[in-house]
Homo-oligomer: A and B are copies of this chain.
Amino acid sequence: MIKIVVDCYGGDLSPQANIEGAVKAINDNKELYLILVGKEEEIKNELAKYTYNKEQIEIVNATEVIDCNESPTAAIKQKTDSSMVKAYDLLKNNEDLAGMITLGSTGAMLAGAVLKIGRVKGVKRPALCPIVPTMDGGVVAVCDSGANVDCDPVWLEQFAIMGNMYMKYGYNIEKPRVALLNIGTEEEKGDMLRKETYQLLKNNPSINFVGNMESRDFISGNYDLVVCDGFAGNVLLKSTEGTALELLKLIKKAFLKNAKTKLGALMLKKEVYGIKDMMNYNNYPGAILLGVNKLIVKSHGGGKASSVYHSINLIARLQENKIVEKIKEELYKPAE
């Protein structure tokens, strides 16, 4: 049995999306056990809409919700009856719980992970690692994407090691192609952080380091994991997302311009829908926080049931592969 906590609040479509995704996950997998955290009555009313095995779901009541605009640390410390804090307390106090999925505040999620769960022994800094769809139908991960802004080369090396395991066990990629985000592909390119990190990655036998990657190749499908500090990772992710959204908006506008373009758009509906679908975050799991003692996954704040469903399945896959233990084995080197 794999036991996962579902924070049922904090998303734009919560708790409906969270609960629908949770039900879908247990209906797919008899080995899952989910603890839904949030307003008990509301959750019960939602659950009543579905058919599912009641022995695979448990509800834990929590009356508050952490807002995205709250100070993360203060919220974790003070909102003790919020769904996220209760979810973290459950994880903290029950060794057999694998992890948590939330659609709520990323800041509170990071603060809670550090305050309540703690780092894996040997890990310098936990890192947030989302995936992005690539043009060949695959995905590419970015580690770190914003949890750590001022970074040390050794941290980046750890991000590479953890991200490598993540892509291996979470996405079944035998030898993930690991790249360092840089401003050119040549070895000597970049700032001091990149130059030092390049040498660490190049000399690390546990990863398949393929060299520097320029941001223009991010979604090409030529890489499985991009290593960077959280500042650059955040710029990379959000500009990719922003450009794609703005361009799709322009195209939509062009399609709706007049009767002729509308007819043309109708003929292309299936194909253009396919492109939009490929880029829809609801078809993928959320971002994992690597390097803490539980499997914490943050799905998009606007996430639908399918994003919750994919995130639950991701946690289950990673738990089966004991990735937390593997990270510890790799990074914790007790004095001999």
Contacts and interface: CB of A to CB of B under 8 A. Distances in A.
Interface string A201-240: 0000000000000111111100000000111101111111
A45 interface: no
Contacts of A265: 264, 268
Interface size class of A (residues with CB under 8 A): 35 or more
Contact of A234 (B183, B217, B271): B183
Q: Is the interface of A mostly helix, strand, loop or mixed?
A: helix
Contact of A242 (B215, B235, B238, B255): B215
Q: Indicate the member of A242, A257, A266 with the most B CB atoms within 10 Å.
A: A242
B255 A268 contact: yes
A250 interface: yes
A225 to B, nearest CB: 16
Interface in A245-267: 245-251, 254-255, 257, 260-261, 263-267
Given A146-B183, A149-B190, A230-B183, A254 B271 contact: yes
Given A191-B231, A235-B181, A246-B220, A254 B267 contact: no
B219 A150 contact: no
Contact of A239 (B146, B216, B230, B231): B216
Contact of A231 (B149, B232, B244, B247): B232
A94 interface: no
Contacts of A229: 191
Nearest to A191: B149
Nearest to A217: B242
A241 interface: yes
A191 to B, nearest CB: 4
A230 B249 CA distance: 29
Given A183-B146, A218-B239, A247 B244 contact: yes
Given A267-B263, A275-B251, A234 B215 contact: yes
Given A183-B238, A214-B242, 11 more contacts: A183-B230, A215-B235, A215-B236, A215-B239, A235-B236, A236-B239, A247-B275, A254-B272, A254-B274, A261-B271, A268-B268
9 contacts: A183-B230, A183-B238, A216-B245, A218-B239, A219-B243, A235-B236, A254-B272, A261-B267, A261-B271
Please give me the 6 A-B residue pairs with the lowest Cβ-Cβ distance, nearest first. Answer: A264-B267, A216-B242, A254-B271, A149-B191, A215-B239, A216-B238
